Amino acid sequence: MIMSGDTHHSAKPAKQAVRQGAALDISALPTFAFGPRSTTWWGTMGMVLVEGTVFALGVMSYFYLRSQSDQWPDGGIPPDLMWGTLNTLLMLLSCVPNWWTNEAAKQFDLRKVRIGLCICMVFSLLFLGGRVGEFASLNVKWSDNAYGSVTWMLLGLHTTHLITDTYNTLVLTVLFFTGPVEAKRFVDVSENAAYWYFVVISWVAIYAVIYGGARL
């Protein structure tokens, strides 16, 4: 009976501590994470949602103007296919080193991440060079007519995203080569890879609009 009474009395302070919210030591918990457990991931997804909406509005504007025009494209000459198709193939191919770099980042493999970032930078520079060729082969100026304006707008919007991701990749490349590299920076590499997938997927849709919409 004495033991029972002691146990009863000693349990009261513990219950009171639980009700009052006792402090917990969380110093050993990780300060970063990959994927949906990361606030950076949610920020990236939010940015993708906003920018995807802008692309959707641009595509809607294209087809609205097309529905109001007697001739599309105005002037009768669609964009040349060579540069746009070449850039599309390069972008699809770039998903391979991008995925490889992402996996290396999740394994905290510094050497592989450095190699992967360099390869991704080469692809980004090739895309930008190919984009110059695309603008030159649209066969219309932005100021010629509504068709020219909306076509240049769509290509310009995507080019802005392409430049943004190229800059991000460049900053990460410099950071990983100059060091010291904090472990949380590997999460930045992973999120940069996720954003690149958005750049590629959005381009496939815009390519279909610019090069296919002018030929339907």
Query: Of 66, 52, 203, 54, nearest to 148 (Cα)?
Result: 66
Give the three-state DSSP class for 213: coil
pLDDT tens per residue across span 71-127? 898 877 999 999 999 999 999 999 999 999 999 999 999 999 999 999 999 999 999
Q: Both tokens of residue 55? A: 């692309």
The predicted structure's pLDDT at residue 12: 53
Write out the H or E segment, with its range, that includes residue 183.
none
Helix 185-207 / helix 82-106 crossing angle, nearest 10 deg: 160
The predicted structure's pLDDT at residue 21: 55
The predicted structure's pLDDT at residue 76: 79
The predicted structure's pLDDT at residue 215: 86
The predicted structure's pLDDT at residue 6: 45
pLDDT tens per residue across span 98-111? 999 999 999 999 99
Domains of the chain: 32-212 (1.20.120.80)
**Alpha-carbon dihedral of residues 100, 169, 113, 180, nearest 10 degrees?**
-160
Q: Phi-psi bin for 179: left (phi > 0), alpha (psi -120 to 50), beta?
A: left
The predicted structure's pLDDT at residue 70: 85
The predicted structure's pLDDT at residue 101: 95
The predicted structure's pLDDT at residue 19: 53
The predicted structure's pLDDT at residue 42: 86
The predicted structure's pLDDT at residue 2: 37
The predicted structure's pLDDT at residue 5: 43
Stretches where the chain sits below pLDDT 70 are 1-33
* Continuous H helices in 21-145: 39-67, 82-106, 110-136
